[in-house]
Chains A and B, each alone.
Chain A
Amino acid sequence: MKIIAYTCPYVPAEWIAAHGFEPRRLIPLPTDVDAVAPRVEGLCPYARAFVNDVAAENAAGIVVTTLCDQMRRAYDLLTCGTDTPAFLLNVPKTWQTVAAQRMYLDELKRLGRFLVRLGGQTPSSEQLAKTMIEHVGRAAPTASPAHAEGVPLAVVGGPLMQRDRILFDLIGESGGRIVLDATETGSRGLRRAFDRRRIAEDPLIELADAYFGIPDASRRPNSELYGWLKEELTRTGARGIVFHHYLWCDAWRAELARLKEWVDMPVLGIDSDGNGETNVARLRTRIRAFLEMFQ
């Protein structure tokens, strides 16, 4: 089955699957290839890694979104750096208006037309509903280290490359226990559970609504994110937050200070350049020092 590669959580896998493709959410390693995007000061390392890794992927199509400006601009490089057809999905930053919700729905339909051009089939409502129900039981994309003991912590931030998930290991080794992965590549980036009754009424609207509700720092206003965090931090009993962002990720960097003001628990802010030079010893020292606060 042909693959459609993407990374943004606002790309509905079910929509791709319903058109007859295999949706593959690509979380960059990253590889050392810089065929599409060279290492440039000011360029988010995640965006860079994604366009480089996805260009090397054997995909029939690539979907990028406008969730952040870095990705929006990296799309330009992608279009001239690979022959693989690419699609830029306009994800609204605003969310409170019917117009924004409708825009997202229309963009999904436009994505559908792109998939048809690649050889896919427009699904009927029944086919889409069936695909959505089949996806309900699929596993979450992340796997946190299974440590039963330790200080319960939340990890908050944007997407994490696979190599940088060493952060989770270090937290576990240092006496922490991750009870909430609120990164974009973690549970925060998951859509809410589908309402089966709404699937039966209009599956595409239910699909759009479920995905549109994913909270993110880039939304304007991003109050949904804080509403979601409040609920999840309470539900999971987290006692501290490890906040991670990549250098040049303005959307998340700007939230660190605000999060510290807002939340009534210790917050450790970590940034990484995503280019492989993470100093594990330094990171371990900082995490251990952070966890000592809870003793």
Chain B
Amino acid sequence: MTGEPRQINLDQWDREYARLRAAGMAEPIYGGPLSRHVADGDTRLLKLRYDNSPAALRLWNFLLTEEDRLLAARDSGKKLVGAMKDLGTVPVMAYSLDNLVSFYPDGAWWIPCVMELNTGLLQIADSLGIDESFCPVRAMLGAFVTEAHFPLPDLLTCSVGATCDDFSAIAQRLNGLGHPILWWEIPHRRQPEPGEQAVTLPGGFSAPGSQIEFVRSELLRVKIALEELAGRSLDDETLVAGILKANVVRDLLAHLRHLAFTAPLCPMPALEMLIAEMLAIHFCSDQDETILVLTNLLAEVTRRAAAGTGHLAADAARVFWVNPVADLRAMNLLEDCGGRMCGTEYLFAHALDPIPTTIPPMEALAQMALADPMVGSAFDRAARIVADIRRFRAEAVIVSRIPGASHCALEGEIIARMVREECGLPVLEIEVPSITDATQATLCTRLEALVETAKDRRER
């Protein structure tokens, strides 16, 4: 049904969609032509390029219909949990109960991009004193005020402690506007000291047992709140089932990333891979469908890798990308400039690792939360990035700063230093705002220079 892999624009997708439907393509209930989302205000879609597979179409439609899903969930009597800041732990708990749906209000940070600043969310944040010196996640404030992008959740949780200041401040502002928040503490992960029980966390970092116990007690507070909301017990057996299901998602993503980043020809472009990875955080408000979407995508990628087909030139520079981009278009730009995504660290590498199943579930979740690269030293994060660079055989690294994000001021330097020392690779640090149109030329010049440098090094 799918022809040769190509990247196509929205107009081309409309024509391709008609062809696929005529050829018998089956779609889930949220399916349809991508262009219909433009009418909803997602005008950035007009400027993006997409993979031409039905699997990618399903992925995009799944992403862009999340609001509908949340509303339907509420209408059906389910309770909504807004899990803020924490990337990948509370949703696993929430989805263990089938009358709870968890989503990620922070995801509103992409609304200014997808709707090309037309929604006024950033202006609302400005009016509340949260200006452009803060990360684009400030759009979340505007989303809560307008209630136009997701229904207000029944329970809001937010991890604090070893988390970025700007998000914490934005969440506090939200709290000050009258939204109750269950704050839970995630301490700065430190090395065990002599005499302390040392635990190796998923992903390879280590932490003292006392910190895991503390986080477990914090997650216990969250668990109690979820139980009260659901009116049901979230016992160990239920949690274990939830963890196993979350691990299905993580396993699918692991295979997908491995193929996408290591196949001789790029079987799936960077933009679709970015969205696929994001599903790991909160399953886009439907965990079962996430599994189906990723299964589909993996099947397509596997087919292409086996057939030796894919996108981009065979000699595209293999680039490892650090931090998610506020403007999705940046993913297309990388490829326009001769690069190929071969490795990523989008602030939530721990949400891609399998959750341990040989220890009690609450302890497993505590270990996962503490395994977050962002809650420890930037050197830890850099070390994990170096390991993945080697695993995916990247030739160059891009550290993408998020405008206003407090962690970006210093970590880029530390990551770049370690990458150069350990891998000897060129590193480029760029800043990607919510809309890159005005800076596109400059950005491309820098991306092209990095690609040239990477290719040049091959000949030495």
Size band of the B side of the interface? 35 or more
| B190 adjacent to chain A (CB < 8 Å) | yes
| A165 adjacent to chain B (CB < 8 Å) | no
Binds B, one of A97-105, A205-213, A285-293: A97-105
Contact B169 A254 (CB under 8 A): yes
| B128 adjacent to chain A (CB < 8 Å) | yes
Residues on the B chain within 8 Å of A103, using CB = 185, 187, 214
Q: How far is the CA of A106 from the CA of B175 in the complex (A)?
A: 29
Residue-wise interface mask of A (73-85) relative to B, using a CB-CB cutoff of 8 A (1 in contact, 0 not): 1111100000000
A99-B183 contact in complex given A69-B407, A220-B160, C-beta closer than 8 Å: no
Give the residue of A88, A254, A260 whose beta carbon is less than 8 angstroms from that of B172: A254
Contact B166 A250 (CB under 8 A): yes
Residue-wise interface mask of B (181-220) relative to A, using a CB-CB cutoff of 8 A (1 in contact, 0 not): 1011101101001000000000000000010001001100
Contact B165 A68 (CB under 8 A): yes
A248-B185 contact in complex given A68-B165, A90-B190, A93-B168, C-beta closer than 8 Å: no
- For A226, the closest partner residue in chain B by CB is B176
Contact A218 B185 (CB under 8 A): no
Residues on the B chain within 8 Å of A97, using CB = 221
Residue-wise interface mask of A (21-45) relative to B, using a CB-CB cutoff of 8 A (1 in contact, 0 not): 0000000000000000100111110
Contact A76 B169 (CB under 8 A): no
Number of interchain pairs (Cβ within 8 Å) = 129
Residues on the B chain within 8 Å of A250, using CB = 133-134, 165-166, 168-169, 406
Contact B129 A93 (CB under 8 A): no
| A258 adjacent to chain B (CB < 8 Å) | yes
Q: How far is the CA of A73 from the CA of B453 in the complex (A)?
A: 30
| A257 adjacent to chain B (CB < 8 Å) | yes
User: Which residues in chain A, 96-150, are within 8 Å of chain B measured between CB atoms?
Assistant: 97, 99-100, 103, 106, 110, 113
| B10 adjacent to chain A (CB < 8 Å) | no
User: Which residues in chain B, 142-196, are within 8 Å of chain A measured between CB atoms?
Assistant: 158, 160-166, 168-173, 175-176, 181, 183-185, 187-188, 190, 193
Residues on the B chain within 8 Å of A99, using CB = 185, 214, 217-218
Interface-central residue, A37, A68, A75, A258, by most chain B CB under 10 Å: A258
Give the residue of A70, A94, A256 whose beta carbon is less than 8 angstroms from that of B161: A94
A254-B134 contact in complex given A73-B411, A94-B184, C-beta closer than 8 Å: yes
| A92 adjacent to chain B (CB < 8 Å) | yes
Residue-wise interface mask of B (375-393) relative to A, using a CB-CB cutoff of 8 A (1 in contact, 0 not): 0011100000000000000
Residues on the A chain within 8 Å of B401, using CB = 42
Residues on the A chain within 8 Å of B425, using CB = none
9 sample A-B contacts, Cβ–Cβ < 8 Å, listed by A number: A68-B165, A76-B410, A77-B410, A77-B414, A92-B161, A97-B221, A251-B165, A254-B134, A258-B129
Residues of chain B whose beta carbon lies under 8 Å from any beta carbon of chain A? 128-131, 133-134, 158, 160-166, 168-173, 175-176, 181, 183-185, 187-188, 190, 193, 210, 214, 217-218, 221, 377-379, 401, 404-411, 413-414
Residues of chain A whose beta carbon lies under 8 Å from any beta carbon of chain B? 37, 40-44, 66, 68-70, 72-77, 88, 90, 92-94, 97, 99-100, 103, 106, 110, 113, 217-218, 220-222, 247-251, 253-258, 260
